[in-house]
A and B are shown apart, each in its own frame.
Chain A
Amino acid sequence: MNVFRFAGDMTHLISILVLLLKIYTTKSCSGISLKTQELYAVVFVTRYLDLVTDFISVYNTVMKVVFISSSLAIVWCIRRHKVVRRSYDKELDTFRHWLLVGACAVLALVVHEKFSFQEVCWAFSIYLEAVAILPQLVLLQRSGNVDNLTGQYVFFLGAYRAFYILNWIYRYYSEQHFTRWISCVSGIVQTALYADFFYYYFISWKNNSKLQLPA
């Protein structure tokens, strides 16, 4: 565990807390893409299958349980909560996310480290995570105005990816640890998807104005 990896995990955790805080305090999920949240739930459930087969550390186990349960809770809230679900922007959130699931499943069956159920699921989850933010970014772009908490949620998610890249570079030099190239390539793609968002986020932060994305 190094400082970049820890910062990455913490910003990931903060992003989820920010999202829960938004839903809890405003009793609203406007601006939040259910599709992206469903994709994250699928990502965590398929990636953390090793929860029942391998033990790495208490930290690792706790974080995995937190990520799986929080993502399922968020999906439940947007779909079923009697107040929250009314604010869901259904007509703006039309991204065909199951196509991403299908494409990533095919890719995982072709490109993986080892042909085992767990390893193919792991590769699938890495690919899916890389593109899972797309429905959210499309939704934000369509709605134009981004409320503060939603903006911060996406910002922290992007920061988490950036820290993970620094972590891989650090591990490469300090431990001669080669991060799997599947993770590296997907991680870089995933971080790049945030570049545009980051640009507008920093401009609005610098000008102390509300975050607005161009149509």
Chain B
Amino acid sequence: PLGNLLHDEL
């Protein structure tokens, strides 16, 4: 899925 390696934290 797209969110797999998405870094939503800063």
A binds B: yes
Distance in Å: Cβ of A156 to nearest Cβ of chain B: 15
Chain A residues closer than 8 Å to B7, beta-carbon distance: 47, 50, 56, 122
Query: In the complex, what residue of chain B is closest to A50 when comparing beta carbons?
Result: B7
4 A-B pairs besides A56-B8, A122-B7, A183-B9 with CB distance below 8 A are A54-B6, A57-B8, A60-B8, A113-B5
A12 contacts partner chain B, Cβ-Cβ < 8 Å = yes
Give A residues with C-beta under 8 Å from B. Answer: 5, 9, 12, 47, 50, 54, 56-57, 60, 63-64, 67, 113-114, 119, 122, 164, 167, 179, 183
A–B Cβ pairs within 8 angstroms, 15 of them: A5-B9, A9-B10, A12-B10, A47-B7, A50-B6, A56-B6, A56-B8, A57-B8, A60-B8, A64-B10, A67-B10, A122-B7, A164-B9, A167-B9, A183-B9
Q: Which residues of the other chain, A, contact B5 by a CB distance below 8 angstroms?
A: 113-114, 119
Please indicate the chain B residues that have their CB under 8 angstroms from the CB of A122 in the complex.
7
Chain B interfacial residues counted at CB < 8 A: 6
When distances are taken between beta carbons in the complex, the residues of chain B under 8 Å from A67 are: 10
Give the docked Cα–Cα distance between A5 and B9 (Å). 8
Closest to A12 in B: B10
Distance of A19 from chain B, by nearest CB (Å): 17
